[in-house]
Amino acid sequence: MHIPEGMLPGTICAVGYGLTGITLWYSLKKIKQKDDPRREIPKASMLTAAFFISTFILIPIPPTSVHPLLIGLIGAILGFYAFPALLIALFFQAALFQHGGITTLGVNAFLFGTSALLSYSIYQLLTRVLIGKRYQVFVASFLTGAAGVAITVILFYFVLITFIPANLDVVMEQQAISILTIAHIPIMLVEGIFTGFLFTFLKKVKPELIDGIH
């Protein structure tokens, strides 16, 4: 779901960088308010690498292919660390492998990062709503993992469908974007299940990883 070079007008790319700058500033401000801001850096680094690698794993879903996003999982575990972590991963993907683009980096980072922050809020809300309920951890993390994919895909869909370059066949591009969006439904379910089982496992063997999320 990375937006490549040339897909967005310059003004939108500039707005993307502006929004990314503001959100990054806010995220870093929240991080600095923690008792030990550096404590979560190893965990953030590990999940940055996981996101970096996962987006190169192409899964064929005819007539297109998709890749894992892990946005819900990253957002739920990292909280405000998710935004700078994703920004770093996206920068190196664009700079080293042209996966995405430098001009569209701001938009990509804002869309991915915002999805992760929303996923973090969803997980926090669900854990409070489901407290004391059976399968609390699995249900909350399953819904968060699935929501992370859904939010990301919806945001990208509206940006791409709104700013289709005039030199392209608009109808064909709309169809391609719609097909790519629908193709992420299986990924949404798989990531929800994966996140659910992972959090359930961590709750048993290393509960501090998820109990300390705040």
| Cβ atoms of 66 and 58 closer than 8 Å | yes
**Residue 64 in this model has a pLDDT that exceeds 90:** no
- Per-residue confidence (pLDDT) for residue 211, from 0 to 100: 63
107 vs 210: which has the higher pLDDT: 107
Domains of the chain: 10-211 (1.10.1760.20)
| Cβ atoms of 8 and 163 closer than 8 Å | yes
pTM: 0.94
| Cβ atoms of 76 and 144 closer than 8 Å | yes
pLDDT per residue as tens digits for the range 147-186: 999 999 999 999 999 998 888 888 999 999 999 999 999 9
- Per-residue confidence (pLDDT) for residue 212, from 0 to 100: 55
**Residue 187 in this model has a pLDDT that exceeds 60:** yes
Give the type of residue at 75.
G
- Per-residue confidence (pLDDT) for residue 125, from 0 to 100: 94
